[in-house]
Amino acid sequence: MQNKHAFRSKIFKALGHPSRILLVDALLQGARCVCELRELVNADVSTVSKHLSVLREAGVVDCEKRGANVYYSLRMECVRGFLACVDRFNARRAEEHACLLCKGVESQERESKFGE
Amino acid sequence: MQNKHAFRSKIFKALGHPSRILLVDALLQGARCVCELRELVNADVSTVSKHLSVLREAGVVDCEKRGANVYYSLRMECVRGFLACVDRFNARRAEEHACLLCKGVESQERESKFGE
DNA sequence: TGAACATTTGGCAAATTAGCCAAATGATCA
DNA sequence: TGATCATTTGGCTAATTTGCCAAATGTTCA
């Protein structure tokens, strides 16, 4: 029952890296081989391969070998909707932030202090 | 444009820790003060406080001071639906795993090898 | 004001993760 | 078979994250 949270957090942890989110983002549009993904993320192939295996072990993506290439694809479809929500959320936050700025609220304290 | 992925991954990273998922799970049912949450997660209050501030900085939760207490609450509502999906996903995976077991597929190789 | 409680912050050691290189593995094709 | 391409694995250091303790801050209430 405590394992539930370990499972859950494994998935979030897998997605909790800019390069890995970038990879998943690319896979939203369909399967891609490692060499294609490698160009996207600007890193050593071995690094990309390791990121992909983190995603695969978490169950977020799947892979399939075709000839000499390995194609990765999105497995956990609900990531798509959640990402869209996260983006809307961040956009809203950015707006609120801009709004506070133009009202001249002190910039550093704004979001770290408790309202009163 | 590259920042998009940094924003996204910050949220996932915040959720990518068993204790923090546990905290968020508790907040699904409503606001809780740190002292209540502290009992849930078995750790030093300072540790819990730091976990909560990671969640707050990512925008996942909000906090509000009431008297001597600080109450945390869920801010990013779409986490609720995604968690439900993640749980269904994990349950399905567990089933498939059990199913392969009873069919006698070699246990180690099963999910780490490519199908062919 | 001072004692007791709730929470956060600073700082540090231990654990984990990231990213590179080199080497291994597997596939293709001449 | 040997050359070449695609991918993964091992190993190592650097960077980041965790979690505890101690101390600081803020609140309540006598």
Residue A46 CB-half CA count within 13 A: 0
Please report residues of B whose CB lies closer than 8 A to that of A5. Answer: 18-19, 21-22, 25
- Distance between CA atoms of A96 and B5, rounded to whole angstroms? 20
Would the CB atoms of B21 and A9 count as touching at under 8 Å? yes
pLDDT per residue as tens digits for the range B13-66: 999 999 999 999 999 999 999 999 999 999 999 999 999 999 999 999 999 999
Asked if residue A114 has pLDDT above 80, the reply is no
Nearest to A90 among B7, B16, B81 (CB): B7
Nucleotides of C under 7 A from a protein CB: 5-11, 17-23, 26-28
Predicted confidence at residue A112, as pLDDT, reads 39
Handedness of CA A22, A24, A29, A30 (dihedral sign): positive
Average pLDDT value over all residues in chain A: 87
Closest C-alpha among B58, B68, B65 to residue B20: B58
Q: Give how far the C-alpha of residue B44 lies from the chain's centroid of Cα atoms, to the nearest Å.
A: 19
Kindly report which listed range (A5-9, A60-64, B91-95, B104-108) carries the lowest average pLDDT score. Answer: B104-108
3-class DSSP assignment, residue A58: helix
Give residue-wise pLDDT tens across range A38-56: 999 999 999 999 999 999 9
Percentage of chain A modeled with pLDDT above 90: 73
Written as six digits, the tokens of A18 are 């800019």
Give tens-digit pLDDT for B94-106: 887 776 666 655 4
Check residue A1 and give its pLDDT: 57
The three-point CA angle B6-B12-B17 to 5° equals: 135
* Rounded Cα gap, residues A64 and A61, in angstroms: 10
Mean pLDDT of all residues in chain B?
87
Select the CATH number that applies to the domain covering A3-74 from these four: 1.20.120.350, 3.40.50.720, 1.10.10.10, 3.40.190.290.
Answer: 1.10.10.10
- Compute the average pLDDT of residues B65-81: 97
Strand partners, A64: A71
Predicted confidence band at A111 (pLDDT cuts at 50, 70, 90)? very low
* DSSP reduced 3-state for B100: helix
**According to the model, what pLDDT value does residue A102 have?**
61
Tell me, what's the pLDDT at B97?
Answer: 72
